[in-house]
Amino acid sequence: MIRRMTNQRLKIMNYLKKVRTHPTAEQVYEEVKKELPAITLATVYRNLHLLADQGDILKLEINKEFHFDADTCKHQHFICRKCGKIIDIMDKDLSEYALEKVSSKNFKPECVTIIFRGICKNCRR
Ligand SMILES: [Zn+2]
Ligand SMILES: [Zn+2]
């Protein structure tokens, strides 16, 4: 299915694809407005949530804030409870195992969000 993307949405998407920092809407806005000075935070916010609802990007709610990730393929996240850093864990098998494990005739899960919480290397020192 081809979905029409507005130029603004495309720019937002392209920025997200470039980074692995899981930015918030505010952070995306700060970057995207360098290229599109007329864009508003409300527009960025709306587009990010739309993209997430369509499954084009991931939306992670962490400490009551939304973070966005263009990588929707099978990876997991580790969140440091001290500094709030979000770190990608690229273990495809883990997600596949989880999906398979709960898969039954009652439900057919297509994606799984796995979030680990703990303390990162920097904060452990
Ligand atoms: Zn930390
Ligand atoms: Zn990620």
Instruction: Determine the Cα–Cα distance for residues 33 and 19; give it in Å rounded to an integer.
Output: 16
Report the separation in Å between the CA atom of 88 and the middle of ligand 2, taken as the mean of its atom positions. 5
Q: What percent of the chain has pLDDT over 90?
A: 74
> What is the number of structural domains in the chain?
2
Instruction: Determine the Cα–Cα distance for residues 90 and 77; give it in Å rounded to an integer.
Output: 9
Q: Which domain holds residue 50?
A: 7-69
Strand ranges for the chain from DSSP E: 58-62, 65-69, 76-80, 86-89, 115-118
Q: Which residues have their alpha-adjacent CB atom under 5 A from ion ligand 1?
A: 80, 82-83, 85, 120, 123
Report if residue 56 sits inside a domain. Answer: yes
Report the separation in Å between the CA atom of 18 and the middle of ligand 1, taken as the mean of its atom positions. 23
Report if residue 92 sits inside a domain. Answer: yes
Among 96, 71, 105, 101, CA closest to 86: 71
Report if residue 34 sits inside a domain. Answer: yes
Report if residue 2 sits inside a domain. Answer: no
pLDDT tens-digit profile of 62-115? 888 999 999 887 899 999 999 999 999 999 899 999 999 999 988 888 888 899
For residues 95 and 53, state if they share a domain: no
Mean pLDDT of the chain: 91
User: pTM of the full predicted structure?
Assistant: 0.81
For residues 23 and 38, state if they share a domain: yes
For residues 83 and 101, state if they share a domain: yes
Ligand nearest to the CA of 75: 2
Report if residue 1 sits inside a domain. Answer: no
